[in-house]
């Protein structure tokens, strides 16, 4: 091994206390660099690194993985973590499967029922490469407005991801949130549960990765699963609702909870991808009907 591969291998050996016999890059990471590690004991791991990561970046991921695993969500085993990386047990990729979708729906319901102390979290985190404020609030409408919609709307606007008229439409939703969102206790959320963060394993299970965890309204995770079209979504939702029925009208609120990830994408990718315009279109449904 030479160059970066040898550096990664040496760092993994320091953290794991096991020789690394082979490394290979893994494609598909949107933020971090991923490397497959074959260890001397015959096991396989995944190491995620990033040159000059923001302070607390990998610590937040490790904290979220542990927090969700405690509540029963299927996350790859966390083997090691440090300021510069996380190392996870390797999950051999497979194809979406119905049984795995049912298991994921039930596990997500159980994690949400496990609950947490507040809307938010004691520590701030990250959503993709962006900082994510988690200071707690008394209610979900307050938290969703002040920690999710308004900060990322401002960031998207500052970066040209949404124009002024579109931003005003999204802003108009904020004073309506108290009426639109049903009161529920906080749930443990994955927080970034889009299609790309569900890993279908060769064992037939669906694993969740790359959390942006915090305490929030459980409809948030379901809305994000629907945003980019998770395979087997109907089975996931059916299993979820059988285990943990949702409040009336939840399907009408999916678009409301999709505003946050759309604004994050608008901030990350600018106006060319149309995420800001899409957020404004969805927000308009709640402005004109309430």
CA dihedral 267, 173, 126, 56 (to 10 degrees): 120
Any residues with CB less than 8 A from the CB of 3 and at least 6 apart, and which? Answer: none
Residue 168 and residue 287: Cα distance in Å, rounded?
11
124 is catalytic: no
Interior CA angle at 78 toward 75 and 81, to 5°?
A: 135
β-pair partners for 11:
none
Interior CA angle at 79 toward 75 and 83, to 5°?
A: 100
Q: Residue 131 in contact with residue 154, Cβ under 8 Å?
A: no
Residue 102 and residue 96: Cα distance in Å, rounded?
11
**Nearest to 46, CA basis, from 58, 59, 37:** 37
Burial group, residue 98, by CB count within 10 angstroms (0-12, 13-18, 19+):
middle
Residue 167 and residue 176: Cα distance in Å, rounded?
15
Q: Residue 170 in contact with residue 279, Cβ under 8 Å?
A: yes
Residue 280 and residue 225: Cα distance in Å, rounded?
20
Among 41, 124, 165, 192, the one annotated catalytic: 192
Tally the residues of the chain.
290
Q: Residue 90 in contact with residue 46, Cβ under 8 Å?
A: yes
Catalytic residues: 192
């Amino acid at each position: 091994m030479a160059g970066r591969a040898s550096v990664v291998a040496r760092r993994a050996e320091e953290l794991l206390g096991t020789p690394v016999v082979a490394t290979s890059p893994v494609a598909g990471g949107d933020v971090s660099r991923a490397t497959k590690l074959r260890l001397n004991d015959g096991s396989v791991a995944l190491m995620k690194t990033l040159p000059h990561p923001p302070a607390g970046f990998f610590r937040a991921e490790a904290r979220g993985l542990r927090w969700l695993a405690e509540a029963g969500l299927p996350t790859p085993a966390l083997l090691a973590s440090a300021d510069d990386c996380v190392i996870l047990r390797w999950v051999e990729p497979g194809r979406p499967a119905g049984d795995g979708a049912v298991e994921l729906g039930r596990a997500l319901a159980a994690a949400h029922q496990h609950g947490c102390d507040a809307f938010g979290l004691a520590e701030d985190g990250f959503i993709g490469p962006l900082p994510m404020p988690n200071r707690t609030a008394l209610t979900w409408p307050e938290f969703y407005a002040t920690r999710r919609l308004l900060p990322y709307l401002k960031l998207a606007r500052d970066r040209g991801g949404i124009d002024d008229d579109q931003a005003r439409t999204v802003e108009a939703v904020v004073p309506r949130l108290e009426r639109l969102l049903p009161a529920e206790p906080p749930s443990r959320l994955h927080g970034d549960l889009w299609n790309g963060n569900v890993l279908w394993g060769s064992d037939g299970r669906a694993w969740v990765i790359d959390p942006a965890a915090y305490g929030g309204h459980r409809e948030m995770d379901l809305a994000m699963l629907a945003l980019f079209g998770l395979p087997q979504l109907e089975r996931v939702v059916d299993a979820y609702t059988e285990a943990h029925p949702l409040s009336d009208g939840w399907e009408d609120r999916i678009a409301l909870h999709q505003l946050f990830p759309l604004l994050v994408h608008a901030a990350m990718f600018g106006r060319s991808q149309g995420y800001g315009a899409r957020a404004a279109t969805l927000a308009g449904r709640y402005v004109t009907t309430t």
